[in-house]
Amino acid sequence: MEKLAALDRELFLYFNNLGSERWDWLWVALSDKWMAIPFYAVLLYLLFKKLGWRSTLITMLVVALLITATDQLANFFKHTFERPRPCRQEGVMEFARFVAERCGRYGFFSAHSANSMGVAVFLSLIFKSFYRNLYLILIFWAILVSYSRIYLGVHYPGDVLTGWFFGVILGFLFYQLWLKIYEKLRKAKENSGKA
């Protein structure tokens, strides 16, 4: 386990130190949830265009539940394992570039990575029959958000990979929930049309 932790620290320092002041603003912006609002707005428009307002509202509700689930699971892990973030870890923080505005206490695992990957998987599964290649943009976005956490100095690569793992699982599970609700709505609409 110590070898794995040492590798995680080495990888963190390598990727974190690839950064430069010139690009710090970009990675800070990518990590800021409010900066993604235009991206979310486009996705909402695409959902509305293909599914209508009722299914779009249901989708928004399921996404909110998905993000809540990934956040709470990440918080549970953080307070269970109490692994310090790299920006608080002696022997690491002295050699890292800390760019974030603040540094939380514990970092295992990254909620940003779990959220972004969970939403990317969830929406990719919904959009697959409408926009075949949109999943590439969604996954690329999740990777950028996740890398920003390493760049800013607040998460190890292991935190990010674990976040992706849980994001993929929860994204798929919440898609199954969405599918059941969507099918019920579709059948109810068909039945009301026959009446």
Sole residue written with tokens 């973030």: 85
Count of CA atoms in the C-beta half-sphere (13 A) of 169: 8
Q: Nearest 5°: phi and psi at 106?
A: -115, 150
Mapped onto helix, strand or coil, the DSSP state of residue 70 is: helix
**Annotation says 79 is catalytic:** no
Q: Nearest 5°: phi and psi at 84?
A: -60, 145
Mapped onto helix, strand or coil, the DSSP state of residue 92 is: coil
DSSP 154: S
**Distance in Å from the first CA to the final CA of the chain:** 64
**Which of 9, 85, 112, 149 is flagged as catalytic?**
112
H or E element: which one contains 104? none
Whether the CB-CB separation of 64 and 80 falls below 8 Å is answered with no
**Which of 51, 155, 166, 178 is flagged as catalytic?**
155
- Cα distance between residue 113 and residue 162, in whole Å: 8
Q: Tokens in use for 49?
A: 């265009």
- Cα distance between residue 179 and residue 59, in whole Å: 10
**Residues that are catalytic:** 112, 155
